[in-house]
Amino acid sequence: MPYITTADGVQIYYTEQGTGQPIVFSHGWPLSSDAWQVELKRFADAGYRAVAHDRRGHGRSEKTYSGNDMDTYAKDLSAVVEALDLHDVVLVGHSTGGGEVVRYAARYGQPQGRVARVVTAGAVPPLMLRTDANPDGLPIEVFDGIRAAVLKDRSQFWKDLTESFFGANRGRAVSSGDKDDFWRQGMLVNLAAAYDCVKAYSETDFTEDLKALEVPILIAQGDDDQIVPIADAAYKAIKLVKRGTLKVYEGAPHGIQGDYQDRLDQDILDWIKG
Residues of the chain above pLDDT 70, percent: 100
Q: Give the tens place of pLDDT for each residue, 38-87.
A: 999 999 999 999 999 999 999 999 999 999 999 999 999 999 999 999 99
DSSP 3-state percent helix, strand, coil across the chain (nearest 5): 45, 15, 40
Enumerate the domain spans of the chain.
Answer: 3-273
- Region 3-273: CATH code: 3.40.50.1820
Question: Is residue 274 predicted with pLDDT exceeding 90?
Answer: no
Question: Is residue 128 predicted with pLDDT exceeding 80?
Answer: yes
Q: Give the tens place of pLDDT for each residue, 60-74.
A: 999 999 999 999 999
Nearest Cα to Cα of residue 160 among 171, 170, 169, 147: 169
Nearest Cα to Cα of residue 49 among 81, 19, 83, 85: 19
Mean pLDDT of the region 96-119: 96
In what side-by-side order are the strands of the sheet with 115-121? 3-5, 11-17, 49-53, 22-26, 89-94, 115-121, 217-222, 244-249
CA dihedral 249, 254, 257, 261 (to 10 degrees): 40
pTM: 0.97
Active-site residues, by number, are 95, 225, 254
Residues 6+ apart with CB under 8 A from 226: 164, 165, 167, 169, 170, 253, 254
Mean pLDDT computed over every residue of the chain: 97
Residue 1 is predicted with a pLDDT of: 65
